[in-house]
Structure 1
Amino acid sequence: MQSAKKKQRVSSSSRLAALAERFPSPAIEHRSGSSRVEFVEYDIDGKSKRVSNNPLIFNDPAIADVVLFLHAYTTDANELELDASTEVFLHARVLEQCKYFATVLSERWQESRQYSEGPNHEKRIHINMTVPGSRVVASYLLVLQLLYGKDFQGVITDVSTALSCLPVAAEWLYDECITACVQYLEAVPWTEDEEKRVLEVVTSLQLRESAQLLARITPINTRAVHDMLVKLVLDGAFASSLKSVKDSVEEYSSPNVRGRHDEIEALQRVSLHTASLNSKHLLWLVERMIELRVADNAVTEWSEQVLFTANLLRVFNDDAWRTIAPSLPALVLRCTFKLVSAVAAGSMIASCQVRKKLVEYWLPVLLVSRDTPSPTASSLKLQALHQELEDVFLRIISTLPLGDAQLLLPQCLSFATRSVEDCPHLMGAFNLWFRRASRDEGNGAGCEEEGL
């Protein structure tokens, strides 16, 4: 049996201090003076954020009833050597959100527990845990903080963080964290190195939640709460503005009048002017909703615009918009760009079906707009917008199952407007698809087959 040298190289306090610097815990102040006791949580700048009746704070030795010891070992000359031992002060009722700790802290294991004496002579339960060599203690500490703060959207903001938290959450059977990590990984693009890590980590864990995530790599068949008032007001304004733009575009495409040609043309001019004016308001709303992180419904609504996009194709195939409303294509595509960019960046988690339809319905609008460039001085800005949308659409396609990507990628061939060397984004997208498809010769599962 391998021996263990008890040599602590890194102190627990230094590890916790480093983590606290990256993800600081909110300060909590006790307030009294009334019939009830309140605990006020503060932001880093000292402004109060919300009132809570829960006084439990991460790594607070004053009222902790559990001490978790995280032991990290290294292998040296066929012997295990203790590299670090980190001591964390926790609370049983917080830890019990994880099925693993709920079992460890249950009465059936009471006789085998180790204790120490805390403040006021209260007993503290000791839990010893070994950190595998493939993981770092910081990942365990971060998941522990998520148990206290529940700020999944604020913490899991990149692939590396999600992949480091996921194995720990799986080990502890922390379902909420597992779901948050998997949903983030499923919705954002990956680099080639990140894809290798996703394949390695996710397949080794064999999580039931990862079926749709793996469908994008191998062919298989298988949010934070927002302020309700702001959400309702913005959603209502967005729906109203979108309806105004849609109605105006539809009126131009199919004028519901009978009369002389000049009368119909005059009404169509009014319709285009109205559509352009309301599109400016709509763009402003989209930008505000994304800033406030309340654009989830807007993204879903934008993905359902079959008739709207069909009417836009008719408008952009005519020449009238060039002189009547030359800014209309840029305004509509800018709304699209803002929404799909937020989805591609992972700041809004959209389902596979929503991501697929965003590309399926809005890619043709981009293509028609590219083929009918604006004659105004702003045409260079419109060209830049077209290129940005090309990149984002290709990134979203990279998040879809192979079968769906196979249907959408050929529609992007017109992105190659010059030579192959001048279109690395298109070449990269096709190379990515062929690399994934060659991993397994089976047929890829689509969003509809997954029941999303």
Structure 2
Amino acid sequence: MDLTAVAKPCSFGDKGTSDVVLRLRNSEGRPEWFYSHSSVLVSKSRFFADRLSNPGSGSCIEIHCSDSTYDHHVNLLRLLYLPTDSLFDSLDLVQSALAVLRLAIAFRCEDVTNCCIQYLEAVPWEDKEEEQIVKEVSELGPVAMPILARIQPVDLSATKNVFISAVRFATSIGGSCPPFGDELKTSAQEQVEFMLGGDEDTPLVTADDEVKSVVKSGLSQVCSLFENELSSFLLVPDITAEIAETRILQCLSDVEWMCNILPKMDLMKDFVCSWGGISRKILEIVEDKKLDNAMWVLKVKLIEVTGKVLEAVGYGNVILPAPCRVQLLKTWLPYIRKIKPLLDAKADEDTDFPYKMDEDLCQSIEGAIVLLVLALPSNDQADILTDWMKTEQLKYPDLSEAFEVWCYRTKSAKRRLMEGLDRVGNTTISL
């Protein structure tokens, strides 16, 4: 067969001009012949070029294929007859292009291989397609790796920059971006949480000084916005109160979000200090007479956030000086003691009342408060326990355990003191 002859225009399946027959077994297991042209096969496939360069190859080449790949083999053969600039127009499905790519690599069809790779690299993938592509490409080897460019790991610097940008957006640093600011901010918050998941690069990013600085600025921003919105609420007319309440709850949601992510960055102490700094102002507003029977959702949310703060300090995850711990308890303990029976009473009046302190929340707060009290200096413990026993609301939070421990410690301390004095006295007499 003369492989050096000048190629004439020909089409796939043209029996009149064919000089090579390809035999495939179809989906029913019967052989099927395709009339082809050596000039096309040799120029487009190194596999066929090698086969046809063998003097004993003859004019018939048998190709073994499975039922599932039969159509893809036929598709590949048709693509060999197309001009290179027309190949892209013949690819319209990810799965089909992936199957053709597998065959094009096997038959060493360079043009078709490059076309499939460029197509798969550029078009959108569905989730299931992405899983299949990752699996297939890993089996096809380095030649197909450009397809995975969109899911390759980025360097640490790029990850840090994306994280910082997401935090800025999530905390409205630099202002919101209407008209879709809230939606985009929520999306940014979700992505920040995702990026803080268990990844080997996460500790490297979160330990970066610039990242910590931006996160701390974001914390300051959300706390300031919440405090400002809440402070202005008492001044707004009733007609706009609902809008103002929505803004306040959104700001508090941002604060709560910060409370959830900062422990993952070892910055919970910053949150505790910020929350402590605005607590008095918050309670002054929330306990205003205008809000006696309003904004129950806000009141419950405040307790939920405060509960996380109490847990962080009570369990020793955040270390604060004793005066700060005393201040935290004396600020929030009276409010918690006051609001719990009010919420219970509302729930008793209306079984559909949605704003309650559930059992888990109550237990976690009570446990944290007991631990906090027991870790204070004895005199501070005495002050808090005295105040607790003077109130009518002894039931919640129940500090009886702390009281029992305090009594035991007091007696033990007095006994140790007396024993110490006795030893000193005996030593003096013996001298």
TM over 0.5: no
Q: Which has the higher strand share?
A: 1
Higher relative contact order (CA 8 A, sep 6+): 1
Q: In which range does the TM-score fall when normalised by the shorter chain?
A: 0.3 to 0.5
Tell me the TM-score normalised to structure 2 length.
0.42
Q: Normalised by the size of structure 1, how large is the TM-score?
A: 0.40
